[in-house]
Amino acid sequence: MESLALGRESRLLVVAPHCDDEVLGAGGLLHTVTRAGGAVRVVLLTNGDGYNRTALRGQFRRLRLPPERYIQFAYLRQRETLAALAALGASDSQVAFLGYPDRGLAAMWDDHWQPENPYRSTFTRTTRSPYDNSRTRGAVFCGESLARDLEDIVREFRPTHVAVPHPHDDHGDHWAGCCFTLYALERLRLWGRLSSPPVVLAYLVHQGTWPRPRGYRPTLGLLPPRPYLHLPSVWMIADLPQEAVEQKYRALLCHRSQMVFMGRYLSSFVRRNELFNLIQPATVPRVDAGRIRVDGEPCDWEGIEVQIPVPARDTLARRLGRGADIRPVAACRDSDFLYLLLELRRRVVDDYLYRVILYGMGRKRGLRRLRISVRVPDRVKVQGEGGWEPRGEIVARARNRCLEMAVPLLLLGRPERVFLGVVTRFRRLVVDRVAWQILDVGERHGGP
């Protein structure tokens, strides 16, 4: 693990899915930067208005709550956030509440990109932000609106470092919050509106029984979850002075509505250090045309490195069958195709649906979304306006423990960057998920 030290010249942007994540993931780092005289900005993607139904019912003594109660609770959580950040040295003017739907960010990333097809909040029952202090008043609950808000904030603040939720986080709002932030940064870079790409640091909150041991233990160090220790990713450790640890705990106590029900768990993040994973695009190597034969055999992939290593942690996949448990994912390209190789823990079987999601990004062509559904050995469908339809130009073959695929780059708009996500399903149940990864497929490599 590498050491992370930010100081007076640093400009730290913290992106938090809910009120309290800013303290859990980067509270100590925020305090360190403000004390050193650096600049900070905190962005709350949602107001956490849907947490926790049991708590809200107990607070308002009603079994069924109207939307106004959820909105009222959201304003309470905002006040708690402002008090917490004041304890860390940040003023109200350095905080932005975007007001997007709690537990709705993953659906916005997956299905609700355009204003014509907004997401409807389960709690506030609206398709627009009902909060009078949202950065964009009446913001539509769609991916394009959230990405635009994040782009504006990045252009205004010009961060040197951006702390985002970890793409491996189990909570949908967290991994989707990471995706939206990375998408905004990539779009600014592609459009030439980002003069100096910031360092992107990912913090983890929801990951099984991590962190352990539970409870307030400020003298202990925070380590990555055990399955992540052997992955070839860069973990950065920010050692915190005693004052920062103490102020982080004081800030956490300001989130009273959360500490009442989850105090022991939340206190587990008050340690003598904070952890961040360095996020970078994975370079996709270019190969000669005809080298990759899509036959389900991995022998022609020799010498091509895995772009997406996957931790062995999928307990659900182990219970239901290891044929759903995705192992490493490799990628390469030639002049016409993007090739993917998925390895599974056990033999690929037709009990499961293997779904590959690709978002292509380029300077001129915007976003091209492609969702591919595969059933072994070679049945391929793509989701379009008319539902799931066969697409003969996408080739997939499965054999033993490997699933191989060739996707025409033309379908993705001949992109420079591709967001890649993979899920396996048993009927409607998601059994395994590969965290989203940015692939650099351009002729020239490089990026943030």
Judge if 289 and 273 occupy the same domain.
Answer: no
Query: Does residue 37 carry a pLDDT above 70?
Result: yes
Which structural domain, as residue segments, surrounds residue 258? 2-278
Q: What is the mean pLDDT of residues 43-66?
A: 71
Structure-token match 């009222």, residue found = 72
Which of residues 278, 296, 321 is at a domain's end?
Answer: 278
In this structure, what is the dihedral angle of CA atoms 343, 348, 353, 357, given to the nearest 10 degrees?
20
Give the mean pLDDT of the chain: 90
Q: Over the stretch 84-129, which tens digit does the pLDDT of each residue have?
A: 999 999 999 999 999 999 999 999 999 999 999 999 999 999 999 9
Q: What is the mean pLDDT of residues 203-222?
A: 95
Q: Where are the beta strands (DSSP E) in 103-191?
A: 161-165
Judge if 182 and 256 occupy the same domain.
Answer: yes
Which of residues 278, 302, 332 is at a domain's end?
Answer: 278
Judge if 295 and 264 occupy the same domain.
Answer: no
151 pLDDT band, cuts 50/70/90, is very high
Q: Is residue 251 part of a domain?
A: yes
Per-residue model confidence (pLDDT) at position 267: 98
Q: Is residue 446 part of a domain?
A: no
45 pLDDT band, cuts 50/70/90, is very high
Per-residue model confidence (pLDDT) at position 65: 81
Q: Is residue 447 part of a domain?
A: no
Phi-psi region of 113 (alpha: psi -120 to 50; beta: other; left: phi over 0): alpha
Judge if 272 and 412 occupy the same domain.
Answer: no
What CATH number is attached to the domain comprising 358? Answer: 2.60.40.1190
Give the residue among 233, 236, 331 at the shortest CA–CA distance from 285.
Answer: 331
269 or 429: whose pLDDT is higher? 269
Q: Is residue 448 part of a domain?
A: no
Judge if 10 and 157 occupy the same domain.
Answer: yes
Distance CA 166, CA 211 (A): 14
Judge if 291 and 400 occupy the same domain.
Answer: yes
What CATH number is attached to the domain comprising 96? Answer: 3.40.50.10320
CA distances to 38, 150, 380, 416 from 195, rounded to whole Å, are 20, 16, 41, 18
In this structure, what is the dihedral angle of CA atoms 189, 277, 165, 268, given to the nearest 10 degrees?
-160
Per-residue model confidence (pLDDT) at position 448: 35
Which of residues 278, 300, 326 is at a domain's end?
Answer: 278
Q: Which pair of tokens denotes residue 264?
A: 């022991």
Count the neighbouring beta carbons within 10 Å of the beta carbon of residue 248.
28
Query: What count of Cα atoms within 13 Å lies in the side-chain half-sphere of residue 176?
Result: 25
Q: Is residue 374 part of a domain?
A: yes
DSSP output for 299-366:
GGGTTPPEEE---S--HHHHHH-GGG-EEEEEEEE-SSEEEEEEEESS---TTSEEEEEEEEEETTTE
Query: Does residue 76 carry a pLDDT above 80?
Result: yes
Judge if 300 and 410 occupy the same domain.
Answer: yes
Per-residue model confidence (pLDDT) at position 351: 80
Q: Greatest CA separation found in the chain?
A: 67
Per-residue model confidence (pLDDT) at position 386: 62
Which three-class secondary structure state does DSSP give residue 104? coil
Query: Does residue 58 carry a pLDDT above 60?
Result: no
394 or 365: whose pLDDT is higher? 394
Q: What is the mean pLDDT of residues 305-322?
A: 65
Judge if 48 and 96 occupy the same domain.
Answer: yes
Judge if 102 and 186 occupy the same domain.
Answer: yes
363 pLDDT band, cuts 50/70/90, is confident
Per-residue model confidence (pLDDT) at position 252: 98
Q: Over the stretch 378-409, which tens digit does the pLDDT of each residue have?
A: 678 887 656 667 777 899 888 888 899 999 99
Which three-class secondary structure state does DSSP give residue 92? helix
For 92, phi then psi, to 5°, come to -60, -35
314 pLDDT band, cuts 50/70/90, is very low
61 pLDDT band, cuts 50/70/90, is low
Judge if 141 and 243 occupy the same domain.
Answer: yes
Judge if 165 and 255 occupy the same domain.
Answer: yes
Query: Does residue 57 carry a pLDDT above 70?
Result: no
Q: Could you give the number of structural domains in the chain?
A: 2
Judge if 347 and 373 occupy the same domain.
Answer: yes
**Stated pTM of the model:** 0.93
Q: Is residue 95 part of a domain?
A: yes
